[in-house]
Chains A and B, each alone.
Chain A
Amino acid sequence: MRKIAIIGNGISGISAARHLRKLGNDEITVISGETDHFFSRTALMYIYMGHMEYQHTKPYEDWFWEQNNIKLVRNWVKEIQVSQKTLLFQDGRTMAYDILVLATGSRSNKFGWPGQDLPGVQGLYSYQDLELMEQNTKDITQAVIIGGGLIGVEMAEMLLSRDIGVTFLIREKEFWDIVLPPEEASLIGRHIEEHHIDLRKQTELKEILAGEDGRVRAVVTNENQEIPCQFVGLTVGVSPNINLVKESSIETNRGILVNEYLETNIPDIYAVGDCAEFRVPLANRRPIEQVWYTGRMQGETVARTISAHKTAYVPGIWFNSAKFFDIEYQTYGHVWNQLRDNENQFYWEHSDGKKCIKFVFDDQSKTLLGVNSFGIRLRHQILDQWLREKRELPYVMKHLAKANFDPELYSRYEHEIVTSFNHTFPDMAVPIKKKGILASLFS
């Protein structure tokens, strides 16, 4: 029975712990200074907005861990003594391990702006950040958010739920256009503005000003415009949280360097999730994957390697999802923010300007490469299958209804989408037929 220590109780660390338990009877200890129990980090915003309480964000009831013999330790690790295989805690305690899994997650980026450490300025990643935000936004009326990514838009939604006015500064031309193609980026930008958020495009932060009380009073933009506010959200991305290992012999770059087995340079030490950086990135994927799903998969995979089923991390077809205020977003395969050389696209947008779908395909072979969908839910299994099978676009259009995952009775748009497709690409046109209610009842 080996002693396995896992640092971090987010989705990566917990997935590793759960799967290690399924695969063996090692002594498993999960260490976190953040919370006693695993909670869904992605749900932090809902706690602030009053959709849920903290307890609701815990995916497993508290008895689950004891029943599965997974030990939970609430403490911050101060130092990893690699040569002695020992962890040193902040409160002076120590813990010996045989195998160590690092799942320390991320921390919010700061780029050295003047005033970035003032009271009232913060990022949002951890439970402590949430508590801080609760204090920082008490009885305030105006906030500025810097950086248009997923956390930024979540923060805007959070602040809005408390009737706090939001000015949203984004460096880019359109919202999140480093990821989203122009049409989609502009659709989301419009939706953000529909919620009465003052979205300032191509605007950067120059400095943050303090008031007499020492708290943030205003921000100054690169155009020297001063925007009064009592809160600044810094959401310009996150970086691997590697402070703990920087001083050790564990090799790092931006993140903790791992091979395809999630092994670090030190035997018996592994890294998974946001904090891990692949020495050799997988094809079409970033070296650091900071997504819930990849964290989960890496946790699942490392558990096998530790349990003597050495397994390389081989993620399948890329997918991701998010929600921007009221608009859900799903993506499958690869849709880059700009078409690549061999690529072509078909884009359809609903007349209400809140739903759209984009198909990127290989210009030569016409095979599907990726799909972006906003406001229409798609069936993961079908898209995964089509992308794997390298289906050609006419096939996709012909069977589009199969990919719909919207609730029953919702308006369906396949007819409109395919009509538009036939119009745009007459050479690939497919016949349109409607399926009767009776047929679908007995399908």
Chain B
Amino acid sequence: MKIIQSVGLVMFLAGFAIFIGSFFTAHYRITDEILGNSTTETENALIQEYGEDMLDHNFATSYTLISQLSGLFEQINQELLNTYSFTSDELQALANRAMEQGGMFSLANVEQVIGADSEAASFKLKSFQDYGSWLDQRQYENQQALFQDLQNVAENIRLYGIINQKGFDRYRIKDLKFQLAKAAGNGPVSRNPWLFLGLTYGLCIIGAMMYILPKRKLDGPPGIKNNNIFFSAMKNKGWLGILTGTFLIVFYVLLYYFPEYMTNWIIMVDPISQILKGSDAGRFFLYGFIYTLCILVMGIRMIIKYRHSKYQMIRTASVMFFQTAFAFLIPEILLRLNKPYFDFKNIWPLDYDFFFDNELQTLIDSGSLGIFMLVWGIVLILVAVPVLVYFFGKRWYCSWVCGCGGLAETLGDPYRQLSDKSLKAWKIERWMIHAVLVFAVVMTGGVLYTYFTGSGQVFGLSTYAVRETYGAWIGAGFAGVVGTGFYPLMGNRVWCRFGCPLAAYLGMVQRFKSRFRITTNGGQCISCGNCSTYCEMGIDVRWYAQRGQNIIRSSCVGCGICSAVCPRGVLNLENAPESGRLNEPILIGNDSFKIQA
């Protein structure tokens, strides 16, 4: 048995090493065909013109290719700026002319100064009309003031007009870098994606199973299996934990901010993507694929570990099901059917882009199914959350359905004991999670304002900038990089505890209007601390248990592990009538007087 485990471990590590190694194995060449497939005609012409030496050139690493591409796009944009910007002389001439005409600026002057005989001149003329028409017929006291305004107009044209209309804006650059790098890559992975799929995921899955399944026998009879956790380099912030955390953080940073470097990994899952949705994979397909695999493999581990507890087994099966079906398969199949990508179990504000104009538009344009999805999403927010939390507590979502919760309860289970239980941490948590909720609500309010009024500005703030900030810092940075990358350092629920705005909303209902509570059993607590130690949300469960007080905390996700690890059968998750829920502490056993715990 132990040999099987060792072989499994070696296979897993080999698969993982090949996965990491495959990151570096391609060389890159952008051919005419690749360029043609990825770009518009204008873009193609520009790249042909300025990047001739890059085409059909071999790059040994993605890094050199991408830095060259970055340079190229910058160069092209610079050239375009040179061609299409107003020069200082031209602005001076405009100002002079206006002064000659008694300080009155007129749009008509622009054509007189720059002419209309070239393509550049007509672009300038057009863009000045777009960005500077407010100057028309304005009266100026002195030349300086006018020149100042003209400069502002010219600057706006540089910043927004030229790059957006003629060149490559930053979104397009990001997109093109990714597409070109993915298509240009040539190496063992792109030649044999199936082989590498087997050598990485295949080996890792089989290896993991060989390591996990024998635990059923090796770990002895069913029961709590927490032996040696705090001696483990992996599970108690030792070198293995730090290494794992670092890998996860790097992975998330690449995924969210630099996907163009991880194209080899994405190519590897193209075949799976083709089968599911009939098109090649993007970075979020890769992410969903790995995410689902982690939940499934580590879910099996969780079920074996807690095989004495039906609650844990069924709960784990539930998160495995919802991730596989609702988060992974159904949305991809919807895409295949030309329907909108939709995760039926994701709920705003965790699903923070649910109300984004493009998302709303997609749903509204998708006929009755789209409308159903829109209504479904709103019903989840307004009806399902309060009603189900009332009956079952927020656990119905957080530890039974949610994808973030699913990963935390499976991949994250080995790290649950690392959450901070101090009172200080609780104080920070309450500020932080509610601040994110406010941020999410304000951001969404702005987005909807823009959707209904068409105006992108509220109180001088760009709603686009606010949503972008939220996406980058909360959606990607907090939920992804910190939320998962910090599993081995701060426990498996960092995001759910400190950041998730939906958890904050669910928590408020749970705290104030719910039948759910964790009850403590009379006077049986021995203050051992297992419950607090293994609470992934950092609740000091023992504080309540030892004084005989129901545990009613907005953060409790109802995972039930406190109850499982309790050696004296003290804790129980219960749904019961609300009366007496917020009880005075009761400690049974001492009849000498009425105990005030």
Chain A contact residues, CB within 8 Å of chain B:
11, 22, 40, 42-43, 46, 49-53, 56-59, 61, 161, 191, 194-195, 292-293, 296-297, 300-301, 304, 309, 311-317, 319, 321-323, 325-326, 328, 330, 377-381, 384, 405-411, 441, 443
Contacts and interface: CB of A to CB of B under 8 A. Distances in A.
A384 B522 contact: yes
Given A51-B230, A56-B529, A194-B221, A304 B524 contact: no
Chain B residues touching A, majority SS: loop
Contacts of A408: 311, 573-574
A328 B577 CA distance: 28
Contacts of A292: 526
21 contacts: A11-B527, A42-B527, A50-B231, A51-B229, A51-B230, A59-B527, A161-B227, A293-B589, A300-B590, A300-B593, A314-B592, A315-B589, A321-B526, A326-B308, A328-B569, A330-B524, A330-B568, A405-B572, A406-B572, A407-B560, A410-B309
B516 to A, nearest CB: 11
A316 B587 CA distance: 11
B590 A59 contact: no
Interface string B545-558: 01000000000000
A407 B589 contact: no
Contact of A319 (B231, B573, B589): B589
B522 A319 contact: yes
B290 interface: no
A441 B388 CA distance: 12
A58 B522 CA distance: 21
B240 interface: no
Interface string B511-527: 00000000001111011
Given A51-B226, A304-B592, A319 B524 contact: yes
B242 to A, nearest CB: 18
B591 interface: yes
B220 interface: yes
Interface string B570-597: 0011111100000000101111110110
Interface size class of B (residues with CB under 8 A): 35 or more
B569 A405 contact: yes
Contacts of A43: 526-530
B223 interface: yes
B177 interface: no
Contacts of B593: 300-301, 304, 309, 311
B165 interface: no
Contacts of B308: 326
B563 A407 contact: yes
B17 interface: no
A311 B529 contact: no
Given A314-B590, A321-B569, 17 more contacts: A42-B528, A43-B530, A49-B228, A57-B528, A61-B422, A292-B526, A293-B526, A297-B592, A304-B593, A316-B590, A319-B589, A325-B223, A381-B521, A384-B522, A407-B572, A411-B310, A441-B391
A326 B221 contact: yes
A65 to B, nearest CB: 14
Contact of A297 (B221, B232, B543, B589): B589
Contact of A293 (B228, B423, B523): B523
A380 B524 contact: yes
B426 to A, nearest CB: 11
Nearest to A14: B527
A312 B309 CA distance: 43
B214 interface: no
Interface string B306-347: 001111001000000000000000000000000000000000
Interface in B375-404: 391
A51 B533 contact: yes
Interface in B389-425: 391, 417, 422-423
A377 B226 contact: no
Nearest to A354: B221
Contact of B591 (A46, A58, A304, A315): A315
B521 A405 contact: yes
B229 A50 contact: yes
A406 B229 CA distance: 26
Nearest to A191: B221
A390 B479 CA distance: 56
Contact of B224 (A56, A301, A316, A326): A326
Contact of A443 (B524, B564, B577): B577
Given A56-B532, A380-B524, A61 B423 contact: yes
Contact of B588 (A57, A381, A407): A381
A152 to B, nearest CB: 16
Given A53-B230, A301-B592, A441-B391, A377 B572 contact: yes
B222 interface: yes
A407 B422 contact: no
B409 to A, nearest CB: 16
B392 to A, nearest CB: 9
B124 interface: no
Nearest to A261: B592
A292 B530 CA distance: 16
A409 B592 CA distance: 38
A300 B311 CA distance: 36
Contact of A50 (B226, B528, B529, B596): B226
B526 A300 contact: no
A-B pairs with the 7 shortest C-beta distances?
A380-B522, A326-B223, A377-B569, A43-B528, A50-B228, A297-B590, A316-B591
A208 B532 CA distance: 41
B282 to A, nearest CB: 39
B542 interface: yes
B590 A301 contact: yes
B238 interface: no
Interface in B150-189: none
Nearest to A43: B528
Contacts of A313: 592
A380 B532 CA distance: 21
A317 B589 CA distance: 6
B311 A409 contact: yes
B567 interface: yes
Interface string B200-226: 000000000000000000001111101
Q: Which of B230, B232, B590 has the most C-beta atoms of chain A within 10 angstroms of its own C-beta?
A: B590
Contact of A380 (B221, B222, B528, B588): B588
A381 B308 CA distance: 25
Nearest to A328: B569
Nearest to A382: B522
Contacts of B223: 325-326
A410 B527 contact: no
Contacts of A328: 567-569
A52 B527 CA distance: 13
Nearest to B422: A61
Q: Which of B222, B572, B586, B596 has the most C-beta atoms of chain A within 10 angstroms of its own C-beta?
A: B572
Contacts of A317: 589
B309 A323 contact: no
A384 B223 CA distance: 28
Contacts of B563: 407
A314 B311 contact: no
A321 B220 CA distance: 23
A384 B529 CA distance: 25
A18 B366 CA distance: 65
Contacts of A49: 226-228
Contacts of A321: 524, 526, 568-569
A51 B591 CA distance: 34
Contacts of A300: 590, 592-593, 595
Contacts of A315: 589-592
Contacts of A53: 230
Nearest to A407: B311
Contact of A40 (B224, B528, B572): B528
Nearest to A316: B591
Contacts of A304: 592-593
A311 B523 CA distance: 20
Given A161-B228, A325-B223, A409-B314, A319 B523 contact: yes
